[in-house]
Chain A
């Protein structure tokens, strides 16, 4: 592996708690300056991997490198990585400034300098003027920013974020997504964050590792992971996906195997368009609409195919109103999609 550019390198990392295996063999390389997401359902081992990198857990097997240095046996305070905890873990008996200064204070940075750097970090997260407040007097979003400033002020090699936006409401979460991204660009530190929210991972990251049952199923850019899922699990977990398999694949696509087609890539043809020819670059299938879900900007059609199986199609409400689309329930439709949007899925490698 090219450990020169790597901020974090995991080699054959396994972690067992008694008889429970939380991490079942993970190899991972996170590059310098990357915004990297570890995505997976709860219990998939992603948080354990984060704690292994921070040093709160020691791997049962394998090694952890930070910036090319083997840190497998080192304590958290000997590692050049800082964590933003899910519950923020701010020190309740210190004010905001003391919280942010803490890392510099224990490293014996002179008072004038640490004060300057702490104020700088607080300015970065737009919390100037809150120095004297106690964590108990702050809102959830503000506590989150303090936790971020407290970690950033140490200028670590890697910043680890454990579900950083999990406790915030939707509106604030979307704001913080944008802000985290711009802070990362500004400071240039590698961000490695854990999330179970696929939308968050897709929006924010340069690359994503999808975790399942203690293993990594796929590592890739958001587009790669979304459009070319490497396994049935990834296809199902990242976005909604249609799987065409077995006899249905044989009949529709003329070949065996498992294929995934994203709902938004499928056109819904109804009424006069039902018998219209589809182009040679497309595959199509007829069926009956089982359900219509109107979601404002788009509508979700659940269609039972005549050849068996069920596909979900997502259509932007370009020309249609809610009345139009709801009338299609139980109607006959034809679904069409371009061949290049069918992606074969490696079933053997999946679950």
Chain B
């Protein structure tokens, strides 16, 4: 027997092929997620040298980490950078999406490409370019490398996420509901408030969460745009990675970072999934 009855529309596979494919999927996912689980488990490992398997579990490292002044400062910096970059991305990304989707103008396709490009550019190139630009152009105006330049650096690629989300939503909505709103007597502001914005809200939320997650664990662009005094959480990890006595704390920070990144992505997926049913 080479075929098995399957649901309509799914390819017919032999049992052997199904087993092989399932094992490949499991192996692929394992390569990605087992190391992450090890990091999470090790953050509770009582053994300072991380002997495996853990002989004893403890919450001690989490407490130590929470009391670590450097970690707390870095966490706060990362949150501020993430919020700043997300705010810029939401504003500019939404405006760019409206311009490209709703208006016809010279260079429209080019603008669209230029907005998307930063996500494809190697982070190191963006980083070096921004670093040069900030130091040569902005420093004469008294702006030094610091949190502000990190926010700007992150915004360059966070915009793309919001832009793509909003663009797709606008394309799907079309203009007829806005026409209907105007037809029923709503002025431009009322139409935005009652119709356009509510219909965009989930796309904005999903885009914003993804943008925040991207910013929160970014390291390359951050390295080049953060001044000496500014440390985000990923930078803090990188700087402390090879100090043996910091190892347990690094582990906990890494574990925290995993949780911090997974939650927004999960929520963003839930939200864009829900949006399809409106």
Please report A residues at the B interface, Cβ cutoff 8 Å: 54-56, 75-77, 81-83, 85, 87, 89-93, 102-103, 105-107, 136, 150-151, 154
Is B230 interfacial (CB-CB < 8 Å)? no
Most chain A CB atoms below 10 A, which of B176, B183, B190 = B183
Q: For the complex, give the distance between the alpha carbons of A87 and B184 in Å.
A: 16
The answer to whether A77 and B183 touch across the interface, beta carbons within 8 angstroms, is yes
**Chain A CB within 8 A of B185 CB:** yes
A76-B179, A106-B190 known; A92+B184 contact, CB < 8 A = no
Task: Among B182, B184, B195, point to the contact of A150 (Cβ < 8 A).
Answer: B184
Q: Nearest-CB distance from B203 to chain A (Å)? A: 12
Knowing that A85-B176, A91-B195 touch, tell me 14 more A-B residue pairs with CB under 8 angstroms. A75-B182, A76-B182, A77-B184, A77-B186, A83-B180, A85-B180, A87-B176, A92-B177, A102-B181, A102-B186, A102-B194, A106-B181, A151-B184, A154-B185
Contact pick for A136, options B181, B182, B278, CB 8 Å: B278
* Chain A contacts for B179, CB-based, 8 A: 56, 76, 83, 85, 89
Are the CB atoms of B198 and A106 closer together than 8 Å?
Answer: no
Cα A334 to Cα B44 in complex, Å, equals 103
Chain B residues near A106 (CB-CB < 8 A): 181, 184-187, 190, 194
Complex-state Cα separation, A81 to B184, whole angstroms: 8
Selected contact of A93 from candidates B180, B186, B190, B199, CB within 8 Å: B199
Instruction: Please tell me if the beta carbons of A103 and B184 are within 8 angstroms of each other in the complex.
Output: yes
Contact between chains at B185 and A89 (CB < 8 Å)? no
Determine if B277 is an interface residue (Cβ-Cβ < 8 Å): yes
Given contacts A106-B190, A106-B194, A136-B278, contact A91 B183 (CB under 8 A): no
A107 to B186, CA, bound (A): 8
- A92-B278, A93-B198 known; A154-B176 Cβ under 8 A: no
A-B pair count, CB < 8 Å, reads: 65
Residues of B that sit less than 8 Å from A by CB: 176-177, 179-187, 190, 194-195, 198-199, 277-278
Chain B residues with Cβ below 8 Å from A54 are 183
Distance A144 CA – B194 CA, assembled complex (angstroms): 21
A76 touches B183 (CB 8 A): yes
CA distance A136 to B274 in the complex (A): 14
Taken together as a complex, chains A and B put the C-alpha atoms of A107 and B190 apart, in Å, by 10
Residues in A neighbouring B176, C-beta threshold 8 A? 85, 87, 89
Q: Which residue of A lies closest to B179 (CB)?
A: A56
Judge whether A91 and B185 touch: CB under 8 Å.
no
Provide the residues of chain B in CB contact with A102, threshold 8 Å. Answer: 181, 184, 186, 194
A-B contact pairs, 24 of them (CB 8 A): A54-B183, A56-B179, A56-B182, A75-B182, A75-B187, A76-B179, A76-B182, A77-B182, A77-B183, A77-B186, A83-B179, A85-B179, A91-B180, A91-B195, A93-B199, A102-B181, A102-B194, A103-B184, A106-B181, A106-B190, A106-B194, A150-B180, A151-B184, A154-B185
> Which 4 A-B pairs have CB atoms at the shortest separation, nearest pair first?
A103-B184, A89-B180, A89-B176, A106-B186
List residues of chain A with CB within 8 A of the CB of B183: 54-56, 76-77, 81-83
- Give the distance to chain A from B199, nearest Cβ to Cβ, in Å: 6
Bound CA span A87–B173, Å:
12
Residues on B with beta carbons closer than 8 Å to the beta carbon of A85: 176, 179-180
Residues on A with C-beta less than 8 A from B181 are: 91, 102, 106
Contacts of B190 on A, CB cut-off 8 Å? 106
Complexed CA–CA distance, A56 and B180 (Å): 10
Chain A residue nearest to B178 (CB atoms) is A89
Which B residues touch A89, using CB under 8 A?
176-177, 179-180
* Chain B residues closer than 8 Å to A92, beta-carbon distance: 177, 199, 278
CA distance in complex: A102, B277 (Å): 22
**How distant is A338 from chain B, measured CB to nearest CB, in Å?**
49
CB pair B182 A91 closer than 8 Å: no
Complex Cα spacing A92 to B202, Å = 13
Residues of chain B within 8 A (CB-CB) of A103 are 184-185
The reply to whether B180 and A136 contact each other, CB–CB distance below 8 Å, is no
**Which residues from chain A contact B186 at a C-beta distance below 8 Å?**
77, 102, 106
Bound state CA distance, A81 and B179, in angstroms? 13
Please tell me if the beta carbons of A82 and B277 are within 8 angstroms of each other in the complex: no
For the complex, give the distance between the alpha carbons of A75 and B180 in Å.
13
Chain B residues, CB < 8 A from A91:
177, 180-181, 195
Q: Are A93 and B184 in contact (CB under 8 A)?
A: no
Distance to closest chain A CB from B158 (angstroms): 26
Task: Chain A residues near B180: list those with CB within 8 A.
Answer: 83, 85, 89-91, 150
Complex CA distance for A102 and B178, rounded to whole angstroms? 12
- Complex Cα–Cα for A286 and B195 (A): 66
